[in-house]
Structure 1
Amino acid sequence: MKSYLIILTALFLVHCTPKTTDKEQPLLTYLSNQDDFIIRTAHLNQLKANLSNNSQFLNFVNKGAFKNTQQRIELLQKIDVNAKALISIREIGKEDIDFLIITELSQSTLAPSDQISSKTYQELVIEKRIYTSKQKEEILYSVVLNETLLISSSQLLIENTIRNKSQQIAPESLNELFKVTEDNSVYFKLDAGSFLLKNNFYPSFTNSFGKWGALRIDLANKKMAFHGFNSRNDSLPYFLNLFKASKPIVLKSPNYIPEVASSIKMYAIEDLEQFNSTQNKIKNRELVLDTIFNKVEEIATFKLKENALALIHFTTFEPDYLSKIAENNTPETEYRDYPIYRLNNASLLENSFSSLWDELEVNYVMPIAQSLLFSKDVNDLRTVIGNLNTGTTLGNSPSFTSTKASLAEASTVLFYEAQTNSFNPKKAGDYFLAANKKEDKNTKVFASQWVGDQDFFHQHLVFLDLQPKKDQGGVSPLLNLQLENPISYGPQWVKNHINKKQEILVQDNQNQLYLFDNSGKLLWKKQLQGAIQGKVSQVDLYKNGRLQLAFTTTNQWLILDRNGNEVPPFNKTFKDGNLSPLAVFDYDNRKEYRFVFGQGKDIYMYDRNAKSVNGFKYKKTKSSLLEAPKHFKIKGDDYLVFKGIDGSVAILNRTGKTRVKTAANYSFSDNEIALLDQQFSFTDLQGNLLQINTEGKESKRPLKVNAAHKTVMKYNQLVVLEDNVLYSKGKKAVLDYGIYTPPNTFKINQQIYISITDTQNKKGYLFDSELTMLSGFPVYGSGEIDLVESSENGVLNFVIKDKENSLVVYRLKEPKTINKSQ
């Protein structure tokens, strides 16, 4: 991605001015074959103003994309030039740069320095100016040659220019480009020895475009566009010559590529014979393409997480294509009515179009309309299908739509990349696509388009900084994961204490527990003796920030480390099983945990050392627990609540003694007890809301719902489901008839979200606190939603059971809603 950086730098080092009519360029005299990257500007002072006032460029400088970038930019402030100038940027070491400015002496001055000295070199005087600031020295060197002023951050560059002044000859190809281009252009060497190419500032195949490239810059608010052309040499096996016989087309790939994809590259191919002939020259081979590819019109590659996929679109899709490439011509699996086949020759596609990718590993193929989609992993194909079903494709994305306005309608080659603040820059060229600040929610877009013409290719590069649209909402499937067996617990988000990212915990009906990272990679799988009861909690046993997983199964109390290993002595097995769900109490948020669960009429409480808490006296109950014990804190006092299947409810203090007296028994509904309005609250089979205050006073309010109603009481908000109607805060949302999970609530960034799933019709819903359904819902799903804020970028992701043995992760685009409440 360093290509982005060079173009970005160039943008801010030039300013839009009227077209120059003077095609003579005396300043070119001082350039040589050593120059790799040149900026041509009509006004150096305007250049500096652009540098100083552009937040994106300053972000690149301040983040230290190059070791000495900030120092070099500060030096520019010492130079006052009201004239044309050429700026040559050269690499002087690993990730270090120096510059040489060539301009007119009469229009130029240098700021007074703290110290000035001079030396004579080949009868010319080199002046050295030292500027001291913040306990460091910045140095400028300058010399006058024939009324031309040369200024540099490097004495060596000045001396080399003097030494070679009689031999300085700008490359002829650069001279020719200067004649046909204007001020406010950038020029860059494209041969393999260029430091730009060696450091991956642009794709390696661009050294086939000629010896030099030039682009004209168009600057607007939040937009940078570069327009130019690449000449063609038909006698050489250059990359763009693969497409010299291909007419530009309106690409169809964006209609199938998910919006969340990255590293998107799309190619139009009209003359396959010519394409393969050039490809064979590039690869120095003789390969005859399979006839299945005779009607290829377009090829695209993209990535989902780290996996590469390929899409081939045909002018006509023949029925026998699949019989030629699919193993046994029979689908290995199916997902939402799309058949998925295993390839009988996994290397066929990679070898046939090897010029379009460095490496492509594919095992599966799936037909979509007149296209074939190839992937290494079946789960990636499911993710594509999920995005097709939700309409969250590249073609429908606001960022791609905005970018197309700056490009030609038809393309021969198109590269596209869009990043939000989830992007983590790893090298210098990545900084343009990184967010300026953590709270920056804008989407950074890069697109590079080549449009074939008779003897050359038009080129358009576009950088956009797009603000999210106010009405933008919806969901995008991020990944799909398949287990060996049907899901019995979860999926549930858990936190990775090392990288702070969220990971996915899930158990199948063979009691295998899985942990996946957020890219879908299986971290570990562990065979348990029984099914997980209740919820899994995360604890910090050793108070060192490292998190463990705590839970009970039917016959075990376990704590696992993040690698899935049991943490002794927290691996207790209980004869006869029948354990209740585990409750974890942390009375004063000091990580002095109490682990509480029941077995029949026995109650167990252990401390963080796995020792029984002898001071807790509530060891026996009259009946088994109906749900996990609860801990509430009201006005500084602790209340432990145990709910029995006999209708009893015990409200105790820390030692297990009765703190609040209650009635003998209640006809509990199938809903958990919770705290609402600082009172212990639950519902009964008659549809009443019962509340008990800390003094033991009881109140009853009829909710006018049937015995099968479902509730959740969190964040002091009561949500009730009766049949297909959801109620809360005096409002209701009428849903389709179905079989629903209990509602659940999440509070993220002071916003409350309410989720519910229709397991019969496979629909997952998400509402705001006012029962207004969010845009993009319902989604396909058959289990409860678990919603979390991503630690990487602050966006909301949720995971839901998909098919019986699969799950899907969605990204939620806040906060557009669809009003379904009444």
Structure 2
Amino acid sequence: MKKLIFVALAIFFFACSGNKETKFSLIDHIPASTEVFLFSEDLSSSLSELQKNDFLSKSNFSFKQKLNKQLAFFKHLELKQPAGISFSNLDSETFTYILITKKDSSLLQLDSLKNKSVETIKENGISFRKIGIDDQKFFFREKGSSAFISNSKQSILDIDDQEKLLEDENFKKAFNASDASKLSVILRHGTTQGLNEIFKKLHFTGFKNFASWSSLDLDITKSFIKINGLSISENTDQIASPFSGTQARNIESAKVCPEDFLSMSAIGFSSFRQIQDNISKARKDSTRVEYPKILDHTREISLIQLKEGTTLVLNAIEIEAAREKLAGMGSVSENFRGYDIIELEQKIDFQPALNSLMHTGEFTFYTVIEHFVIFSQDAETLKKHISDFLNSDIIAEKSYYSEVMASLSSESSMIFITRLPEFIDSQDKHNKTSLKFEKNSLAALQFINEDGYSHIHGVFSNSKEAAMASNGAEQAASFKLDHPLITDPLFFRNHRTDQMDIAVQDENNQLYLLSNKGNIFWKEKLDSKITSPVYQVDLFKNGNLQLAFSTGYNMEVLDRNGNKVKGYPIKFNSPLTQPLSVFDYDNNRNYRFVLTQDKKVYMVGPKGKAIKGFDFNAASSEIVKAPKHIRLGNKDYILIAEKSGKLNILSRQGNIRVPLSQTFDFSENEWYGHDNKFISTAPTTDLIEISQQGKVSKKDLELAENNRIVANDRHLVYLNENLLNIDGKSINLDFGLYTDPQLFQFRKRTLIALTDTQTQKVYVFNDKAELLDGFPVYGTSKVDIANADLDSRLEMLVKGEENEILLYKL
């Protein structure tokens, strides 16, 4: 019986020993020096997916070079089992790695290799092999059910030394939290200087002490790398602790962040006082750090790096309460586009309060946009924020940004967002040619604190679709004159360069001609304000263009050098009562300049002499609109409206061409040719249509007083209070004070523009009633649109501040 028991125990012992020996565990032999551990159930496939990523496959950087050099032999491995790679000494020129996987006879495929060497080594009772393939050497060992490959003999030997293996409960938690179906990475914080430096450049100094370990699961596609995971802390002074007892918040600073930002680092919380208490507790310091009390009225703090400088953005819980905390600390330095820029009497230093979270510095100026208080070291950087906000040129408005943010949680304790090509270029000029980013590439990394853990979500987007996405309207230039403008800026073609120059008049009646880069060619003093459009004409039919316009008493024609053309000005003793009209019946440059004084109409030719054969000399009552030339089909008509309500529809010779038996109650709108009819509106309710046979019809459009229309052959646009109608498609605008809608026709493109002078916003729509990308933008006047510099994009001119001309690209 005793022999039977002994035999049974022996069988049981050896069976258990055998089970223990054959059981494979990926984390039983990880070196204690591990800085990064990368692992997957199918490591070969995961690494292959990495290589298919456009950015990683096309870019070249030092760490990739080191990996490719030291792990080139991987192409000779058959990794059929779960595997992981431990990396140590990553900051050194030659890092240390050890591959851990389940023992498999097909792991190393050496038989077919010619340039190989295999040497069996026994050391300290341990047998392993030294293998050379081409110019690479590594060590291979099998132990129990595990196989190991390393570039370090010592790492192979240390597998049997329990004291040199990683025994860390937080690491195990991180490992167990990973997704077995993903390629996963576990990072040890504080060991890799490269990562620490990256976050320092993001103004976050706490990455080294952020947590003990972070576990990240990767999803990799051709254009994206997405990560999800968590960070595990072991000490109360690590990064999770400041957010204990506070709630994550929706980070909204992107609403005032210029699209061309470099980086944005932000924290969100429900109580800044709680954060301060947590920091004091972690420091074991009962002394409360004094901080600007505006932070008590804040739910989010963001640090935004721009090319122009760095700004601190506070998202206020209640903006008036935040304003009160700043009251009396400074005075208005200037008002820029309706926003006060305050210069502080003493700089505000947020650094003591935020020292463990971000590096902020001191600030001298601030402004308020909606519920955001924005601080900067100079006023010009604040102007950048204001301009881009008013122009909707902010990152929150961009579709490629929204796509990236959709991969993250809606609320954050901490978030880092970078515009990668620009950010990398600003930090390291030498890498810009080796890193192959698409335009509009973004990276975002988000942390959400919860019960001692920080959940991590991140995304790197390098999408060609995002690169091709239109950025919409963007301000290209701003020019300021010495005095306020009294006319709207307009384009004037430069016949020498075939580009567009800019004409505008200031309050001193100086007419300027500027290049589209803002250089002043000349300025000419006029007798009074320009009262008409500025027409570009070619009087001598040689391609050289002139500017034609009327002022109070004169009709002027200037050449592009600012000189008066012979025969001009035409001067009158009494004022012109309507703006100059210019007719070119057959587009053959046989111009007719039409001038009006009360009831009289004067028509002069290119040399400034009266045209013979135009028999309409005077109306029966005062003329209330500038005479208008309309061509319907192959017929020319001249329309002259009188105060009595009479509408004269004349031939070129000034004879009645379309007799009308009724009079009209004219609105302030012009007459237009549309759909082979003459159209305008009554002051209220009706659209008036007149056929070429003189038949009058009315359509009740329920037009309100001060309705505005503009039309051409194919398009009819009208503005009725806040309702804009484009070819029957209606758009509800915000209530405001709008300029008359303007219609611009290009070869295959029709644009409709109008400006709300109350909110100082310019809107541009296409003929499908769709607002163009990037609009509304800031502006205070009517606009002019043309291709000003011969590239593929149109440009738009508009008045900004009282002495400012703005140039936008569409």
TM-score over 0.5 for the pair: yes
Query: Using the alignment, how far apart are the partners of 1:709 and 1:407 within structure 2?
Result: 52
- Structure 1 SS opposite 2:640: coil
Deviation digits for residues 126-167 of structure 1 (CA, Å, limit 9, x no counterpart): 3324xxxxxxxxx7655533377777xxxxxx6x51355324
Query: In structure 2, which of residues 567, 589, 593 is the aligned counterpart of residue 620 of structure 1?
Result: 567
Question: How far does residue 265 in structure 1 lie from its aligned partner after superposition?
Answer: 0.9
**Equivalent residue number for residue 359 of structure 1:** 361
**Equivalent residue number for residue 40 of structure 1:** 39
5+ residue gaps, structure 2, are 1-21, 123-128, 573-578, 596-600, 618-622, 642-646, 683-706, 723-736
- Structure 1 SS opposite 2:57: helix
Check conservation: 2:174, 2:232, Cα contact below 8 A.
no
Question: How does 1:224-303 map onto structure 2 within 5 Å?
Answer: 225-234=226-235, 236=237, 238-243=238-243, 245-251=244-250, 253=252, 257=256, 263-268=264-269, 270=271, 272=273, 275=276, 278=279, 288-290=289-291, 292=293, 295-296=296-297, 298-303=299-304
Query: Using the alignment, how far apart are the partners of 1:241 and 1:587 within structure 2?
Result: 80
Cα distance change, pair 242–77 in 1 and its aligned pair in 2 (3 A): same
Cα distance change, pair 540–90 in 1 and its aligned pair in 2 (3 A): farther
Check conservation: 2:555, 2:580, Cα contact below 8 A.
no
Cα distance change, pair 242–670 in 1 and its aligned pair in 2 (3 A): farther
**Equivalent residue number for residue 640 of structure 2:** 685
Query: In structure 1, which of residues 44, 56, 61 is the aligned counterpart of residue 57 of structure 2?
Result: 61
Query: Using the alignment, how far apart are the partners of 1:551 and 1:395 within structure 2?
Result: 35
Check conservation: 1:42, 1:84, Cα contact below 8 A.
yes
- Structure 1 SS opposite 2:216: strand
Amino acid at match of 2:55: N
Cα distance change, pair 167–99 in 1 and its aligned pair in 2 (3 A): closer
**Equivalent residue number for residue 724 of structure 1:** 708
Deviation digits for residues 269-322 of structure 1 (CA, Å, limit 9, x no counterpart): 636276267379989998741573584552321538545444446778886x65
Query: Using the alignment, how far apart are the partners of 2:786 and 2:292 within structure 1?
Result: 49
Cα distance change, pair 28–765 in 1 and its aligned pair in 2 (3 A): same
Check conservation: 1:764, 1:779, Cα contact below 8 A.
yes
Deviation digits for residues 604-646 of structure 1 (CA, Å, limit 9, x no counterpart): 657xxx8999xxxx84368479879999998xxx747574647
Say whether 1:81 aligns with 2:55. no
Query: In structure 1, which of residues 766, 769, 774 is the aligned counterpart of residue 767 of structure 2?
Result: 769
Check conservation: 2:304, 2:313, Cα contact below 8 A.
no
Check conservation: 1:23, 1:179, Cα contact below 8 A.
no
Say whether 1:162 aligns with 2:159. no
Question: How far does residue 363 in structure 1 lie from its aligned partner after superposition?
Answer: 1.4
Query: Using the alignment, how far apart are the partners of 1:751 and 1:811 within structure 2?
Result: 15
Check conservation: 1:754, 1:767, Cα contact below 8 A.
yes
**Equivalent residue number for residue 745 of structure 1:** 744
Say whether 1:460 aligns with 2:415. no
Amino acid at match of 2:456: Q
Say whether 1:449 aligns with 2:396. no
Query: In structure 1, which of residues 112, 116, 126 is the aligned counterpart of residue 131 of structure 2?
Result: 126
Query: Using the alignment, how far apart are the partners of 1:231 and 1:593 within structure 2?
Result: 74
Query: Using the alignment, how far apart are the partners of 1:358 and 1:284 within structure 2?
Result: 22
Question: How far does residue 783 in structure 1 lie from its aligned partner after superposition?
Answer: 0.8
Question: How far does residue 782 in structure 1 lie from its aligned partner after superposition?
Answer: 3.3
Cα distance change, pair 534–631 in 1 and its aligned pair in 2 (3 A): farther
Question: How far does residue 46 in structure 1 lie from its aligned partner after superposition?
Answer: 1.9
Say whether 1:504 aligns with 2:440. no
Question: How far does residue 185 in structure 1 lie from its aligned partner after superposition?
Answer: 1.6
Query: Using the alignment, how far apart are the partners of 1:162 and 1:46 within structure 2?
Result: 28
Question: How does 1:699-714 map onto structure 2 within 5 Å?
Answer: 708-710=668-670
Check conservation: 1:551, 1:582, Cα contact below 8 A.
no
Question: How far does residue 268 in structure 1 lie from its aligned partner after superposition?
Answer: 1.4
**Equivalent residue number for residue 108 of structure 1:** 107
Cα distance change, pair 22–559 in 1 and its aligned pair in 2 (3 A): farther
Amino acid at match of 1:165: I
5+ residue gaps, structure 1, are 1-20, 130-138, 152-157, 479-492, 494-501, 512-529, 813-822
Amino acid at match of 1:194: Q
Say whether 1:146 aligns with 2:142. yes
Question: How far does residue 755 in structure 1 lie from its aligned partner after superposition?
Answer: 0.9
Check conservation: 1:642, 1:649, Cα contact below 8 A.
yes
- Structure 2 SS opposite 1:327: coil
Query: Using the alignment, how far apart are the partners of 2:282 and 2:342 within structure 1?
Result: 33
Question: How far does residue 724 in structure 1 lie from its aligned partner after superposition?
Answer: 1.7
Query: In structure 2, which of residues 529, 541, 546 is the aligned counterpart of residue 596 of structure 1?
Result: 546
Query: Using the alignment, how far apart are the partners of 2:651 and 2:417 within structure 1?
Result: 58
Check conservation: 1:37, 1:189, Cα contact below 8 A.
yes
Query: Using the alignment, how far apart are the partners of 1:611 and 1:804 within structure 2?
Result: 24
Check conservation: 1:597, 1:604, Cα contact below 8 A.
yes
Cα distance change, pair 188–121 in 1 and its aligned pair in 2 (3 A): farther
Cα distance change, pair 296–196 in 1 and its aligned pair in 2 (3 A): same
- Structure 2 SS opposite 1:205: coil
- Structure 2 SS opposite 1:449: strand
Check conservation: 2:546, 2:557, Cα contact below 8 A.
yes
- Percent identity of equivalent pairs: 13
Amino acid at match of 1:451: N
How many residues align structurally?
A: 683
Question: How far does residue 359 in structure 1 lie from its aligned partner after superposition?
Answer: 3.1
- Structure 2 SS opposite 1:81: coil
Check conservation: 1:343, 1:365, Cα contact below 8 A.
no
Query: In structure 1, which of residues 517, 535, 538 is the aligned counterpart of residue 491 of structure 2?
Result: 535
**Equivalent residue number for residue 733 of structure 1:** 718
Query: Using the alignment, how far apart are the partners of 1:349 and 1:718 within structure 2?
Result: 66
**Equivalent residue number for residue 134 of structure 1:** none
Cα distance change, pair 666–143 in 1 and its aligned pair in 2 (3 A): farther
Amino acid at match of 2:242: L
TM-score (norm 1): 0.60
Cα distance change, pair 538–404 in 1 and its aligned pair in 2 (3 A): same
Question: How far does residue 87 in structure 1 lie from its aligned partner after superposition?
Answer: 3.8
- Structure 2 SS opposite 1:106: coil
- Structure 2 SS opposite 1:165: helix
- Structure 1 SS opposite 2:448: strand
Cα distance change, pair 718–739 in 1 and its aligned pair in 2 (3 A): farther
Deviation digits for residues 538-574 of structure 1 (CA, Å, limit 9, x no counterpart): 6876x9xxx895758766776669584x6xxx65878
Query: Using the alignment, how far apart are the partners of 2:709 and 2:527 within structure 1?
Result: 41
Check conservation: 1:412, 1:450, Cα contact below 8 A.
yes
Check conservation: 1:276, 1:289, Cα contact below 8 A.
no
Question: How does 1:230-629 map onto structure 2 within 5 Å?
Answer: 230-234=231-235, 236=237, 238-243=238-243, 245-251=244-250, 253=252, 257=256, 263-268=264-269, 270=271, 272=273, 275=276, 278=279, 288-290=289-291, 292=293, 295-296=296-297, 298-303=299-304, 305=306, 306-312=308-314, 322=323, 325-327=326-328, 342-354=343-355, 355-359=357-361, 361-366=363-368, 372=373, 374=375, 411-416=412-417, 446-453=444-451, 455-462=452-459, 502-507=476-481, 509-510=483-484, 535=491, 562=517, 564=519, 583=536, 594=544, 596-597=546-547, 619-620=566-567, 623=570
- Structure 2 SS opposite 1:272: helix
Cα distance change, pair 45–630 in 1 and its aligned pair in 2 (3 A): farther
Query: Using the alignment, how far apart are the partners of 1:407 and 1:456 within structure 2?
Result: 17
Question: How far does residue 393 in structure 1 lie from its aligned partner after superposition?
Answer: 9.2
Deviation digits for residues 744-785 of structure 1 (CA, Å, limit 9, x no counterpart): 41659x432111336578664433225566799888853124
Check conservation: 1:536, 1:549, Cα contact below 8 A.
yes
Deviation digits for residues 787-816 of structure 1 (CA, Å, limit 9, x no counterpart): 68999x99999675466567899998xxxx
